[in-house]
Chain A
Amino acid sequence: MEKPIAFEMKGITKTFGSVVANNNVDLTVYRGEILAILGENGCGKTTLMNMIAGIYCPDAGTITIGGEVVSIRSPKDAFLHGVGMIHQHFKLVDLFTAAENITLGINDGERYDIRKVSSDVQAIADKYGFIVDPSKKIYDMSVSEKQTVEILKVLYRGADILILDEPTAVLTPQETQKLFDVLRRMREDGKSILIITHKLHEVMAISDRVAVLRRGEHIATVETKETTPEQLTEMMVGKKVSLNIDRPEPENVAERLIVKSLNLTSPDGIKILEDISFVANAGEILGIAGIAGSGQRELLETIAGLKTLDSGEIIFHRPKKNLPVSFYHKTFAQVVELAQEGKFHYEDGTLVDFSGMRHSQIRALVNAGKVLFNEDEIMDLCDKTPLQIRELGVRLSFVPEDRLGMGLVGNMDIIDNMMLRSYRRGPSMFVDRKAPSDLADRIVADLEVMTPNTHTPVRRLSGGNVQKVLVGREIAAAPTVLMAAYPVRGLDINSSYTIYRLLTEQKKRGVAVIFVGEDLDVLLELCDRILVICAGRVSGILDGRTATKEEVGLLMTKTDVDVIETEGGEC
């Protein structure tokens, strides 16, 4: 049965400077279907959708809606043609209610009657099975409720063609299921739904057809029933990719970083972290799962010394047992004091006793590497600044969530970005650009960073390459603890797997890896243990090899009775 055509794009081309975002794309969408737009990051999915929604204007090509060639020059035009887009980042007024947000910007010449709007909104919601309270303020809403309001806003304006840009990125598995139910009901009502995503299992679950884009070109549109995730990946990437993540058994596991009842309050007095305790082991990947914004970022930033905590302990075990003492991170006086406390031994096992020795003798012994530690060093990292942590000799590497806003400087070239960690080295008042330049060359070669040269500002690189530069630099510091927050966010499949491989390599080297992720499938395949965080609390720590997605999903939204009472059940 041939369904009626909702809209058609023909020969759409859009360029930004020398970058071709879309090249001669043809796309047909029928009424009453869910079409998934699949493709790696930077392949032009969002650009293409933005042209239907009136945010960009195509350089060439035509858009036909309802059999008529249209020129969509603004989101308003798009609405007139029944096209509505739900963006990744919500555009709502926090202080307004749902109904007020929905009616905002509509000027149909009629009297403003919020009660009528509310009842209309309720009617639409009931029709498709949304759960919404039109009089609830946005700031009281959870992420999934806000998304509901965004979708209702578009429906209220009479959109027949809905575009959803990565709608599930912020949802738990359970919420995703609910959203999909609603989308199916809308399909039955004859609406056309385009859903942008890069999660293959969701594509398989929800869509009728899949359009695959690669490097701005439309590769194919296939029936979902007649394809497999492997085939789709091959179309997306252009070659066969193994979708398995290697997870070797942890070796030489030892406690490395111990976090004890950490509490953190934001400057406005909101509790962000509450009583967080966990241990990150050397030779293991500890995954952190949770709904976005549950305190993951703050947790890592606190450990890295960027935030001052209210209370709690961060203890670092520095692997020093049977390793020589040096003056690199300790003063002469500190060494003598520790020797007096009986903390060092010689190779033959006898305790070190410096009493009666001259300074030069002690120095000679230490510099010759004869003096060894009895035990691992235990260090308190609480209330230390990042610089102090480094001066203690703790090699803590951190790949922050905000790559260009925190991890790197966008306007600086790759070499200068390499220098961020190392520029202080040496007594000279001038910076040494030779070593960073070599490092940059090495990282570009080893990690296959696509860049004209190492003098290119990193903001010009694509997301995946930016991340390779950042991860490469952090790993080059030979860390003992490596923390990575959403390191594959926005990366294509190939780059993502490169990052997973790098993390696993570090784990094999005995690094304690902490990985904050959003894709549960990946967390379950990559991590040895998974810590689930919900509203700033640890709701559970699971074994990565035995845990199921449902278990993790439940813990992500687990709320104690007292939490519900005091905070109104935020998640």
Chain B
Amino acid sequence: MEKFKAFCKKAWACIKNGTGKACSAVKDFISEPPFHVVKRAQISTKKAMLIRLIAIVAALLLCSLLSAVLIGANPIKFITTLFDGAFGSTRRIWKLAKDTAVLLCISLAVTPAFRMRFWNIGAEGQTLMGALAAAAVAHYLGGKMPNGVLLLLMFVAAVIVGAVWGGIPAIFKAKWNTNETLFTLMMNYIASGIVAYFLLLWTPSGSSVLGELPHGHMPSIINDYFPLIVAVLILTVLLFVYLRYAKHGYEISVVGESENTAKYVGINVGKVIVRTMLISGAICGIAGFLIVSALDHSVSETTVGGLGFTAIMASWLAKFNPLIMIGSSLFIVFLNQGANQITTTFNIASAFPDMVVGIILFFIIGCEFFINYSLKRTEKTKKEDA
């Protein structure tokens, strides 16, 4: 016992000494850090891309290292599985393209609003309402008219309902300057409540699960996914042109950058806010229509499944540029799909792939810091003899 006590004392002294030294080292480090942060004046696109590439590679390395440590997986196999899950077979590639298209469509929807600094986080609800409207048309009018007309009606209904759902918070913002973030968020819950109500109404058994709608299916060209992908790509180009070259797009940028400037040059800020949110909501409606007509042929409260929020990330990563958004959406879907493959291959809980996705996104967003700032070595201040 005595021995143990002595040992403890010794150990404690050691630790104290050690930490003391460490502490003073840390103190030195804080009072005179060897690096300091300097804002970059400008950075070439090449260099910026290189930094992003390094970030992705570093993230993948960290992930495979973690997988080796935590689940004992072969790091190389870990990474190949990630790619295999996304590109491993024709079916997987089509699934990747389809999921990318849906995410891209909703990302496009939030983009005009975000360029205007209107933080629309209600894409989830706007898409859901669009999907509900399309499903309602198919449910009530299906079989009573040719499929083409039915699809057109579904499209129109989805666009109108989506636009209304996006327009309501915009009107409140324009008239009374309400907080759009809270407003659009709350509208999501109302939307999901409305869907639940209609599901009860449409399913006499009370099961609240709507079976496949027999009518209003998008015609299959090559396969079910192809028309959807083409439609979204066309929309991407249209939105790019609208934002870059149209007077409306210019007004959106001015309002987003500075409301005072917009007022100064005579832009009716309220009008632009409402108009832009109508467009934002309408594109959400289109997304809802595409999901119902080309993919699900049904609707439920989880039809959108959080894509309305993922879309915010895709839009942001692309710096609100619709063309770059193709890449950012693809990347996010690729990560998800690859991570799912890891779950099945390595037979682990789904939390791990989520962690992987989180780490990679953290690196990508974090590397923006190094694009805006650089670290410089501090020259030691020479102590002169006084």
Which residues of chain A have a CB within 8 Å of any CB of chain B?
15-19, 57, 59-60, 62, 64, 67-69, 71, 73, 304-306, 385-390, 398, 400, 402, 404-412, 416, 419-421, 423-424, 428-431
Contact = CB atoms under 8 A, between A and B. Distances in A.
Contacts of A69: 381, 383-384, 386
B379 A59 contact: yes
B382 interface: yes
B246 A429 contact: yes
Contacts of B258: 404-406, 409-410
A204 to B, nearest CB: 36
Contacts of A412: 253-254, 257
B87 to A, nearest CB: 38
A430 B260 contact: no
A419 B40 CA distance: 29
13 contacts: A15-B38, A18-B42, A59-B379, A304-B264, A406-B260, A407-B264, A409-B253, A410-B257, A410-B258, A416-B253, A429-B246, A429-B247, A430-B245
A400 B384 CA distance: 51
B384 A62 contact: yes
Given A62-B382, A409-B261, 15 more contacts: A17-B38, A17-B40, A19-B41, A57-B378, A59-B376, A60-B379, A71-B31, A305-B266, A385-B266, A390-B266, A398-B264, A402-B260, A405-B260, A410-B258, A420-B254
A400 B264 CA distance: 9
B175 to A, nearest CB: 16
B39 A17 contact: yes
B265 A386 contact: yes
A386 B266 contact: yes
Interface in B256-282: 257-258, 260-261, 263-268
B250 to A, nearest CB: 5
A16 B381 contact: no
B245 A18 contact: no
Nearest to B385: A69
B9 interface: no
B376 A409 contact: no
B354 interface: no
Given A19-B41, A68-B386, A412-B257, A406 B247 contact: no
Contacts of A430: 245-247
B92 interface: no
Interface residues of B, number: 33
Contact of B381 (A17, A62, A385): A62
Contacts of B383: 69
B368 interface: no
Contacts of B261: 405-409, 420
Interface in B40-55: 40-42
Nearest to B36: A57
A263 B263 CA distance: 21
B16 interface: no
B26 to A, nearest CB: 15
Nearest to A58: B381
B40 A431 contact: no
A404 B261 CA distance: 8
Contacts of A385: 266, 268
A474 to B, nearest CB: 11
Interchain residue pairs A-B with the least CB separation, the first 10: A17-B41, A387-B266, A386-B266, A18-B41, A406-B260, A409-B257, A420-B265, A430-B245, A406-B264, A60-B379
Nearest to B374: A17
A416 B250 contact: yes
A386 B263 contact: yes
**Which of B40, B245, B258, B384 has the most chain A CB within a 10 Å cutoff?**
B258
A73 B265 contact: no
A400 B39 CA distance: 29
Nearest to A386: B266
Contacts of A67: 386
A306 B261 CA distance: 11
Nearest to A305: B266
Contacts of A389: 266
Contacts of B247: 423-424, 428-431
Contacts of B245: 430-431
